Structure 1
Amino acid sequence: MSGVRKVALVVGAQGVIGRNLVAHLEGLGDWEVIGLSRRGGPSSARVRHVEVDLLDAEDCRRKLAELGRVTHVFYAAYQDRPSWAELVAPNVAMLVNVVDAIEPVATGLAHVSLMQGYKVYGAHLGPFKTPARETDPDHMPPEFNVDQQRFLEQRQRGKAWTWSALRPSVVCGFGLGNPMNLAMVIAVYASISKELGLPLRFPGKPGAYDALLEMTDAGLLARATVWAATDPRCANQAFNINNGDLFRWSELWPKIARYFGLEVAPPLPMSLDVVMADKEPLWKEMTRRHGLAGHTYQEVSSWRFGDFVFSWNYDMFADGSKARRFGFHEFVDTEAMFLGIFDDLRRRGVIP
């Protein structure tokens, strides 16, 4: 689309992924950006935020009716539910509602980008084939990521627009009030450990401390997402997107502890969702005493997700070579990523 003004519709614009994608698009200079979310947000010269209930088909039609200039849809919305089966209906419905609303009015629609993850490979169910590859067969349903992609594949047939699917590992970056924010989990857990005069203990399952893992930096993912949506070679393709290095918590955890000025004690399996449930009064006191920005305990808590990630006592990584073969060659050092995010959280006054 060289020479054509590009208009991005970022769906889920206030999450870790969406927020970083909006910032990246805004910085490129040749994009107009419209962000959709339940909370909306402050608009700027190049970014307009729209508050919408994605589960309400009529609200989607009404709010998106005037967005006929959209050329690219970047779908990164997510609704959490207690079980894997319960995730399917709302997460598929939101994508369907967005496409149903935007496709009839956006006559210049060129691409729909879908954010997925390693659940496509069954990574959330237990030990799976590693490295996972985009050509691996589906696993037993339910799985909303797979259903979303099938919907796009079927909807795209015979159309001028194309789709792509991005499959990151755990995405790390700045975001508040997000149910899946591992960097925030570690930062707040470490800060509270320090406040209580405790060493930093790895809270995961036995074996998780030594499993082989990878992460995906939110900035790297944003750049890869725009690349896949604008490079013709990537039309109707799925790509694993990861930092490009592997690590074990047993190696990285002591370095994180040193960053926070903490000693490391032997791992102790515990549910963060349980042991951190009573820490809100302490957080309020820390916020007052350290002069923090004043974010609520709920905004900085993603304990269930931390328990989920720290339960992986099996290898968790995918082959990222397909993206490199198609032309995306960026990488991020995972240790530097974590420390950089912690620096950012301190600059913002989120943690002491």
Structure 2
Amino acid sequence: METRDNALNKTALVVGANGVIGRNLIEYLEQLPDWNIIGVSRRGGKSTARVRYVAVDLLDEQDSQEKLSSLTEVTHIFYAAYQDRPTWAELVAPNLAMLVNVVNAIEPSAPGLQHISLMQGYKVYGAHLGPFKTPAKETDAYHMPPEFNVDQQQFLERRQIGSRWTWSAIRPSVVCGFALGNPMNLAMVIAMYASISKELGLPLRYPGKPGAYNSLLEMTDAGLLAKATVWAATDERCANQAFNITNGDLFRWNEMWPKIAAYFGLETAPPLQMSLDVVMADKEELWNLMVEKYGLENNSYKDVSSWKFGDFVFSWDYDFFADGTKARRFGFHEFMDTEQMFLDIFEDLRQRKVIP
């Protein structure tokens, strides 16, 4: 494989270190011998022999400069931070500002900077707006703004001109993996919904739009995504390119849902559209009782539930998938069976005593 950096001791700055993407990326980098790792998030984290955490308010330009400009050893920025806002238009300003503040702090002070990796998603294709062209390709036209993913990429494209570093844009589907307190964690939504359904003696009903039960979609395993992200950041063929990263298989909920129910020892019942954000709003007391009853880790109900995100994903009554062949043409050949991914994550949640 052609690599742009054969030297030992590359230093990764993982921005958004506590999210499902950043956390799994750090875990993967820890397995590789030639990386130093710095994790950046608002909350920070507990540093280890391999990972140093820095707490930064990336929306604060001065705080970003003070905390980040001294990190002169950084060779790779892996940007996976995200700020939520009530409306789509409001997402642009904070999410662009955070990336700009990171680059403005690191680029002038890190002479060995080689690459900036930007985490995006299918929102680039308008997947969140309604039925979009499938399979989506990296060459597809942008849609009418506002769209912070596009603004972030265009910022990097402009900034990169004349620079020694390159960029890549990584576009996963829905990312599934372990993380607590994350607003976009579908596997956790399903695990919590199934666990509470079981406790109440209910079958597992698909709660989304009727048409969504039969739509064709795909997922991206967080571990697979971590491997692809590092690959794109270190293989010179990937310089200044965007890549769709997917598990490599397609599924419909009408087939996957009974298999998930079976894992939890549940029957299924016909789908019934309901907002999880509404029907699960009063389940905190029940959850706290379950934590005590089953000897679970004492995680707050807020940290283990992402109901709004579940409602969002389960509302897609249209096909939701992209063409992942560009990454394969460029040399990335890893894949993941999506059914096995779900079962592995549920088993991991049980081992960690997050769910019964």
Normalised by the length of structure 2, the TM-score is: 0.98
Q: Please give the alpha-carbon distance, in whole angstroms, between the structure 1 residues aligned to 2:182 and 2:283.
A: 18
Picking from 91, 116, 120, the partner of 2:120 is 116
- Residue in structure 2 matched with residue 12 of structure 1 by the alignment: 16
CA contact (8 A) 2:207 2:274 kept: yes
Secondary structure, in 3 states, of the residue corresponding to 1:301?
coil
**What does 1:1-352 correspond to in 2, within 5 Å?**
1-352=5-356
Q: Please give the alpha-carbon distance, in whole angstroms, between the structure 2 residues aligned to 1:51 and 1:15.
A: 14
Secondary structure, in 3 states, of the residue corresponding to 1:163?
strand
Q: CA RMSD in A?
A: 0.5
Secondary structure, in 3 states, of the residue corresponding to 1:49?
strand
Once the two structures are TM-superposed, the CA of residue 29 in structure 1 deviates from its matched residue by 1.4
Once the two structures are TM-superposed, the CA of residue 4 in structure 1 deviates from its matched residue by 3.8
Letter in 2 for 1:278: D
Q: Please give the alpha-carbon distance, in whole angstroms, between the structure 2 residues aligned to 1:38 and 1:102.
A: 17
Secondary structure, in 3 states, of the residue corresponding to 1:36?
strand
Q: Please give the alpha-carbon distance, in whole angstroms, between the structure 2 residues aligned to 1:3 and 1:182.
A: 38
Q: Please give the alpha-carbon distance, in whole angstroms, between the structure 2 residues aligned to 1:193 and 1:276.
A: 10
Once the two structures are TM-superposed, the CA of residue 206 in structure 1 deviates from its matched residue by 1.3
- Give the unaligned 5+ runs of structure 1: none
Q: Please give the alpha-carbon distance, in whole angstroms, between the structure 1 residues aligned to 2:185 and 2:297.
A: 18
Q: Please give the alpha-carbon distance, in whole angstroms, between the structure 2 residues aligned to 1:4 and 1:177.
A: 34
Once the two structures are TM-superposed, the CA of residue 5 in structure 1 deviates from its matched residue by 2.0
Q: Please give the alpha-carbon distance, in whole angstroms, between the structure 2 residues aligned to 1:254 and 1:329.
A: 29
Secondary structure, in 3 states, of the residue corresponding to 2:210?
coil
CA contact (8 A) 2:8 2:34 kept: no
Identity over aligned pairs, percent: 77
Once the two structures are TM-superposed, the CA of residue 3 in structure 1 deviates from its matched residue by 2.3
Secondary structure, in 3 states, of the residue corresponding to 1:207?
helix
Normalised by the length of structure 1, the TM-score is: 1.00
Once the two structures are TM-superposed, the CA of residue 263 in structure 1 deviates from its matched residue by 0.5
Q: Please give the alpha-carbon distance, in whole angstroms, between the structure 2 residues aligned to 1:28 and 1:338.
A: 25
Residues 29-55 of structure 1 show CA distances to partners (whole Å, capped at 9, x for unaligned) of 110000000111111111100001010
Once the two structures are TM-superposed, the CA of residue 65 in structure 1 deviates from its matched residue by 2.0
Q: Please give the alpha-carbon distance, in whole angstroms, between the structure 2 residues aligned to 1:299 and 1:126.
A: 29
Secondary structure, in 3 states, of the residue corresponding to 1:190?
helix
List structure 1 runs of 4+ shifted beyond 2 angstroms: none
Q: Please give the alpha-carbon distance, in whole angstroms, between the structure 2 residues aligned to 1:41 and 1:12.
A: 11
Q: Please give the alpha-carbon distance, in whole angstroms, between the structure 1 residues aligned to 2:232 and 2:298.
A: 38
Letter in 2 for 1:318: A
Residues 189-228 of structure 1 show CA distances to partners (whole Å, capped at 9, x for unaligned) of 0000000000000000010000000000000000000000
Secondary structure, in 3 states, of the residue corresponding to 2:169?
strand
Q: Please give the alpha-carbon distance, in whole angstroms, between the structure 1 residues aligned to 2:94 and 2:306.
A: 21
Q: Please give the alpha-carbon distance, in whole angstroms, between the structure 2 residues aligned to 1:335 and 1:44.
A: 33
- Give the unaligned 5+ runs of structure 2: none
Q: Please give the alpha-carbon distance, in whole angstroms, between the structure 2 residues aligned to 1:191 and 1:300.
A: 12
